[in-house]
Structure 1
Amino acid sequence: MKISVIIPVLHEQAQINGIISHLRSIDPDVEIIVADGDPGGSTIAVIADGTVFRLGSSIKGRGNQLAAGAVTASGDILVMLHADTFLPPHAFSSILAAINRGADWGAFRLGIDATSPPYRLIERFVDLRCMLFELPYGDQAIFVSRAALQDIGGIPAIPLMEDVALARKLRQAGFRFTLLPERVRTSPRRWQQDGIVRRTLHNWLLLLRYLSGADPQKLANQYRAN
């Protein structure tokens, strides 16, 4: 089975070549698609790897960019990866093993690349959320089989909360979820920029508003403003 990795980006010039090199170190032949939300293509313009698929006309917003990337992808399994999230060393073999065991979709456990104890509490809370509600977020490298994704109509093309919308659709359709034991290593920059408590509460509020029917575009505007 072939794996395609889709990376939605917006002004990630400093990060993009590092994450591409990281993916190549895991599997030199993995298909990588970078969907740039900047109309000027500022991130895809600096990509050094000539084999990476570049999408420069995507509509801004992670869900829109991921949906565009999914159309381009040729893999049997799609992995949605943030530009500041690094996968564990045997990520692709773990995904393939999970699919072979009967999983239709899943994610890695969250790992935050910081040493402060509060980050460990966040990680444990996310573990619990995923085990109880099958609700991983995009910074956990969600993966899904193409068959399951096609069955639910593809990745929700919304600017924010596409990960939550995708998880809900897959769960409601009865597709089997698995939470892999390995942890990704994601940047703590959002928490450090906003403060751990403020960023965590803000994320919870956005989720509650979305689940209550708020417009994803308005939520995206508020997310970018904070």
Structure 2
Amino acid sequence: MADNRTLPPPPPLSVVIPCLNEAERLPLLLADLQRWPAASELLLVDGGSTDRSVANAALAGARVLTSTPPCRGRQLATGADRAQHSWLLFLHADSRLPPDWAECVSQAISRAAHHADAMLGTAWFFRLRITPSTPARRLLERAVQLRSQLGQTPYGDQGLLMHRRLYDACGGFAPIPLMEDLDLVLRIGRRAHLQSLPCPISTDGRRWDRCGVWQRSWKNARLRRRWRRGEAPERLAVLYEN
């Protein structure tokens, strides 16, 4: 880590979190976000939760927005449209951030602030960590990092940090229920560089538990291929859930 004494204070940050029935995991993420040392704005965009997600977010001081029926792309776009600050951080509600996440993000922003082109030329993502840890998940994490860095295609569960000017220049999130992350990342990649932050983001491994790490990964790859060939995200979202 660089010496923070050489860096200016971090700017205000708008954090956008799409949510649907994440009352168990969400409070942990909201607690992690309290480490940001400057003014921050937490925007929880709820897709119609029937648990205590909304109540938990409100107790943590988040602005709660509603976007129903649930559609993650629309929820993310709604949050970005309502965000008040210039720096945007998009996170999934089941994510966890490490103790030094604020330092990592602050240093990335501070370096970009010294170069006007960097605010339009760079977006950042975290290194993926799947919990609880297993050998198969560790191997998958390494594959994800290679794909993200070499292929410039991080996904939404890795988080996404960017300046508002870059977000707007790329057209923002499309209001689609699946592939909204890849859709935006591909547009970002046409005009900017996607760079890994030097700290991990943890995501809940439950979706891999349903059918296994490699079966889930293979299914996701097939869905991405069908999307690239033009199949509707709405149709693919049904297949993803099933």
Determine if the TM-score, normalized by the shorter chain, exceeds 0.5. Answer: yes
Matched, 1:106 2:116: no
Query: Which residue of 2 is the match for residue 211 of structure 1?
Result: 228
Contact kept? 1:39, 1:57, Cα under 8 Å: no
**Correspondent of 1:80 among 90, 98, 118:** 90
**Correspondent of 2:24 among 14, 27, 46:** 14
Q: How many residues align?
A: 224
Relative to the length of structure 2, the TM-score reads 0.85
Larger Rg: 2
Matched, 1:150 2:165: no
Query: Which residue of 1 is the match for residue 195 of structure 2?
Result: 178
Aligned mates of 2:225, 2:179 — CA distance in 1 = 11
Instruction: Spell out, residue by residue over 1:77-129, the C-alpha distance to the aligned partner (whole angstroms, 9 max, x if none).
Output: 11111111111222233223223243521101111122211111101100110
Gaps of 5+ in 1: none
Gaps of 5+ in 2: 1-10, 113-117
Aligned mates of 2:163, 2:214 — CA distance in 1 = 35
Query: Which residue of 2 is the match for residue 222 of structure 1?
Result: 239
Relative to the length of structure 1, the TM-score reads 0.91
Contact kept? 2:15, 2:90, Cα under 8 Å: yes
- Poorly superposed stretches of 4+, deviation over 4 Å: 26-29, 39-42
CA drift at 1:25:
3.8
- What CA RMSD, in Å, does the superposition of the two structures yield over aligned residues? 1.9
Residue identity opposite 1:147 in structure 2: R
Task: Report percent identity of matched pairs.
Answer: 34
Aligned mates of 2:162, 2:56 — CA distance in 1 = 29
Aligned mates of 1:165, 1:181 — CA distance in 2 = 24
CA drift at 1:32:
0.7
